[in-house]
Structure 1
Amino acid sequence: MREPAESTPSHGKSRVPARMQRWKRPNVWLGAIIPSLLLIFALRGYSLVLLEIIPLLRSRSPAIACGYAVVVHIALFLTGYSYFAVFFQRRESPRRKEPPVEVQEKRVIFACDDQGESIRCYRDSCGGAWQSLRTRHCADCATCRPNFDHHCAFVSNCIGQDTMKPFFTFLVWAAVLLSVALVPFVPLEFRSMREVVRTTWDTAELEERWWSRRLSWAGGPVWHYAGGLLLGYRLYQKTAHERPLLVPDVTTRTFTQDGITYAYDVPLYPSLAVPHLGTLAVVFFALFITLIALAMIFVIVRNTRLGTSAIQIERTRLWRSQDGVKPVYDARVALWVPLDAERQAGQGAVVYVEPDTPLFDLGPSENWRRVMGEKWWQWFVPWVPSRASDLHDLNPRVIDTLRERARKKR
C-alpha cells in the first residue's frame, strides 16, 4: 500500500475562476448538435414507419401490422419519456450549500480535506456548496452532480443520481424500438442495395467517376466500396422511372389538360419502391444507434452490479498505470472515519482510500436494486427513482477496515 500523500488533489477548497469558456469543450457543442441530429432522425424514421411500413404490412397481414404498430408506439413513448427525463434535468448550481448535521458533527464517513473538514466546491456558480463522496463537478454543465458517472453528449446532460435510471431505460427502450422497427426495413433495404449494385457497379459512368480514380482508395477498402454504393444510388435515381418498382403497389392518379384526362401510376410507398439514399441513411443510423445502446447497456449493468461508476473505473486505471513509478496524479480520496461503531462526534481520523476500494459494493443484487428498483418491472420504467446514498450505502467490510486504519493513526 502506498504511503499517504500530503494532500489529495482530487478535492480541496481552492477557488477556481468563475464560469470557464464552456463552449470550447467538445461535450458542450456536441451536446447541442447530437440531440438535433437525433430529432431529425426520429422524425424521418417515424414518418417512414407510420406512412409506409405500417400501411405496407397492413396490406399483407393486418394482424402483424397491428402488433408491429402497438410495440413500436409503446417503445417510442417510453424511449421519448426516458430521453426527456434526462435531457431536461436541471443544470442549476446545487441548492444545498451546507452538509447534513451528521457530517458537520463528524458522526459518519465522508469525503474531507487533509484537516478532516468537509469538501466544498467553488468552481463556476457552486458558491462553496458541499460535495458528498460521489459528487463531482462537471465542467461541461458548470455545476456539481451527485453520484456523477459521466457527461453524455447524446442527452446533453450528466449521468448521475437523478439521471442514471432514466438514462438506462432510454437505452433499453431505444434498443427495443429500433430492433423492432428495423425488422421490415432490413430485407427491403438489402434488396435495394443488391439492385443498385447489380445495375450500376459495372457501368462505364461509375467506372469513370469512381472506380478508376485514386481518390476512391484514399480511405481503404471500406471507403472504396461505400463510395461506390453511394454514387450507385445517385446513378440509379436517374433511371429509376425506367425500372420496375421493388415494391409494386401503386395507385392511379389523374389530371386534366386541354379537356383531356390523363391517368398515371405512382408508387404507394415511394421510399420503399425505389432505392433512396435517405432510407439507406435512416437504416444505417438506426443500426449504429442500436449497437451503441447495447454497448452502453452492458457497461451500465456491469458497473451497477459492481457498485462502481465510469469515472471511478477511469481513476482506478490511471492509478494502477502509475504503479511502481513516481505518481503524477494521486487518485486517492481522503475520508473522515469515526473511530467507534456509535460514531461519537469528533473522534476519528483522516484515511486515504485508493480508487479501487469497493466503498459502495453491497453485493451485485443489492447494488442493482438500489439504483434500478426493487421489483423487476421497475427496472424498465423511468419514473421510479434510485435510492442510492453516499452516506448510508457503504460496504460494511470496508467500513471495518477503514476504522481499523483510523485507530492506528490516532
Structure 2
Amino acid sequence: MTTEIKAPVFPESVAEGSVATWHKKPGEAVSRDELLVDIETDKVVLEVVAPADGVIEKILKEEGDTVLSGEIIGQFKEGAKGAAAPAEKAKSEAPAAKAMVEEAPAAAKSGDVVLSPAARRLAEENSLDVSRIEASGKDGRVTKEDVLAFMKDQSPAVEGKPAPAAESNMPRLDLPGQGREEKRVPMTRLRASIARRLVEAQQNAAMLTTFNEVNMKPVMDLRKQYKDAFEKKHGVKMGFMGFFVKAAVEALKRFPAVNASIDGNDMVYHGYQDVGVAVSTGRGLVVPVLRDVDAMSLADIEKTIGDFGAKARDGKLSIEDMTGGTFTISNGGVFGSLMSTPILNPPQTAILGMHKIQERPMAVNGQVVVLPMMYLAVSYDHRMIDGKEAVQFLVTIKELLEDPARILLDV
C-alpha cells in the first residue's frame, strides 16, 4: 500500500518551510516512527516520521526545496522490504561477510561509526567528533543519550564561569591554509529569519541601552548555603537565571511600560509577565517563553529553563514554546561576554542583558573590597519607555539581586 509523505501542517504564523535533510533514501528500509526528513521553518525544525514499516518509494521534494503546509514531498510504501535490510539477504551474506572480516580485520575496525538519526542530527548541530563518543546502543550504535552524555562531559564543571571558547555555529570550511579559496554556504531559513528580525528591530525602534552593575555576592552566598537542600527537594540545581527572572518580574510589575508592546499607534500594556529566555543552538538563537512567571516558584523556573535547554539542543522546541513573550532576558555571560548592548525582540519594548561575573576592586564604606560584579544592560524602545523609567527599572533589578530577601518580602 502506497501512501503520501506530507509536510507537517504549519501554524498560521508560518507561511512555508524548506526541506532540510532527508535521513532515508528511496528503497531504504525504515521502521515505524523512524525519522524520514526534517522540515525547517523560520522558527523551528519539524520532523516527519515513517507511518509504518516499509520503504520510501519516491522523493518529490529535494533538500533545499520550498514546501507549503501539508504539501506532498514523497511517496511511502508500507510493508515493503528495502534493499538495505531484508532478513533473508542478511542471512545469505553472513558467511561472505565473515570471510571478509577474517581476511581484512583492519578494514572492519576502521568502519564508520553508526549513529541513530537523533544522535546524528545532534552531533552535526554541535560539530562533534563522533569517533570520540562512547556507544551504548545495540550493535555499537551511538544513541542520542550517548551524545548528550559526551556534551555534558565536555561542558564546564563550574556554573557561573564562562565556557571555554566554543566552536562557531558557522559550517567548517575545511580549506587549505595557504590558498585564497572560498566556500559559499546558503543561510538556513532559521538564521535568515533571525537576521531579518534583528535588522527590523534596529530600523523600526528608537533603541537605547542603559547600563548598571550588580554585586552578585549576596546571591552567590545564598546559593552556596541552600543549593544542596534545594536540589535534594526539587530535583533541579539552583542557578543564577531563576533569581534574575524573579527580579525582572518584580521590576516589570513596578514599571508596566517595560512590559508593554507597540502595535501600530497603540501601546499595549500586558497584565501578565511572560519572559523569554534566549538560548543559543547550533541552528541559531531561539527564545522559548516562560508563561505567567509571577505564579512560578524559583524551582519551577529552573526546571522549565532546563527543559527548554534540552529541547533546544535536540531541536524539539515547538512554535508554541517560542510564541509571545512580553520581555526577554539574554545571558551572554555564559560565553564570557563582559558587556554588550542586546537587540530588542519585537514587538517587545525592552530586553535585559546579563554578562560575565568578574571579581573587581570596589569601594565599600571607604574600604577597597574585591567583589564578584556583573554588568547589566537594558535595551529599550525610547518611543514607549522614557529614560527615567528604564534606569529605575534596572536599578530595581540591581537592588533586588543585592538583597534577595526583598523578592520574597515584596519591598
TM-score (norm 2): 0.21
1 or 2, which has the higher helix percentage? 1
**Relative contact order (C-alpha < 8 Å, sep 6+): which is higher?**
1
1 or 2, which has the higher strand percentage? 2
Higher Rg: 1
TM-score (norm 1): 0.21
